[in-house]
Amino acid sequence: MKVDVLLFAQLADAVGARSLSVDMADGATVDDVMTRLAETHEPIRVMRETIAVALDERYVGEGTRVRDGCTLALIPPVSGG
Amino acid sequence: MPSSPPLLDVKLLDHPVTTLPFDERPGAAGGECTFLGRTRSEVHPDHGALRQLHYEAYEPMAERSLRTLAKTAATEHGCVAIRIHHALGPVPLGAASVLVQTLAPHRAEAFAACRFLIDALKSETPIWKREEWSDGTTWSSGMPVTRGVPDS
């Protein structure tokens, strides 16, 4: 199944892209997606502990299962205000 | 508790924000608190003087986050009106990037709601600030989001 991934701010700059797409096996979790992305993108591996993940615009834990066609947003440390 | 639903005015704007009066001011509102966050001058040891800040957001989620926080503040502090405006794009020195305005029956609730909203916004709303110096740019180190994230 296909999962779309959005990147922002310092993380997007470090990766050099604002969006990615990954193919995952059925039953994959957010943790599985992050592990895959960390293998292929060094900045995600380095920053992983500081990244929160949102599934379809809501924060989720890493055990959450992803669905075909869903959008995961990787949220680096926030600095609004 | 207010008898009618609270007025909520939550927006992301493509320019610096300014204070605004509430068009409707329910009679139950005795305390109004306004917070403006402005770009302050700073000097970076390597990049020189700050020229401006530049904000970006995951816009649909940021709007949802701010609206959820406004509803929470209204419920927990009995506010009759809440306004949160946040700028995206460039915000020059001295200009304001964020406006939080709370209207409640008494000052204690208005202050508490305003404090809650700016603190929560800064810790969980997906907005980011890039610092543009006279010689280079940096991203604000920011705050990793832990609040509002489920354990699993």
Q: Provide the residue count of chain A.
A: 81
Task: Write down the domain spans for chain A.
Answer: 2-75
In a domain, B27, yes or no: no
Do residue B122 and residue A54 have CB atoms under 8 angstroms apart? Answer: no
Find out whether B122 and B37 touch, Cβ atoms under 8 Å. no
Number of domains composing chain B: 1
The reported pLDDT for the residue numbered B5 is: 87
CB pairs under 8 A between A and B: 97
Task: Say how far apart CA A37 and CA A45 lie, in whole Å.
Answer: 8
Range of the domain at B36: 7-19+32-136
Do residue A59 and residue B149 have CB atoms under 8 angstroms apart? Answer: yes
In this predicted model, what pLDDT tens digit does every residue of A20-68 receive, in sequence order?
Answer: 999 999 999 999 999 999 999 999 999 999 999 999 899 999 999 999 9
Residue A63: closest C-alpha in chain B: B152
Is A43 an 8 Å CB contact of chain B?
A: no
CATH number of A2-75: 3.10.20.30
In a domain, B99, yes or no: yes
In a domain, B150, yes or no: no
In a domain, B94, yes or no: yes
In a domain, B115, yes or no: yes
Looking at CA atoms only, how far is residue B88 from chain A in angstroms?
A: 10
Span B98-119, mean pLDDT?
Answer: 97
Q: Which amino acid is at A44?
A: I
Contacts of B122 in chain A (CB under 8 A): 78-81
In this predicted model, what pLDDT tens digit does every residue of A5-20 receive, in sequence order?
Answer: 999 999 999 999 999 9
- Which of helix, strand or coil describes residue A53? strand
- What ipTM did this prediction achieve? 0.95
Instruction: Kindly state the DSSP code that residue B59 receives in the 8-state scheme.
Output: H
Residue B147 has pLDDT above 90, yes or no: no
In a domain, B124, yes or no: yes
**Among A29, A46, A79, the residue to mutate for chain B (most B Cβ within 10 A):** A79
Is B118 an 8 Å CB contact of chain A?
A: yes
Joined together, the tokens standing for residue A17 give: 């892209």
In chain B, residues 64-93 whose CB comes closer than 8 Å to chain A:
64, 86
In a domain, B45, yes or no: yes
In a domain, B111, yes or no: yes
Strands B81-87 and B7-13 come out as parallel
Q: What is the CATH number of the domain that holds B130?
A: 3.90.1170.40
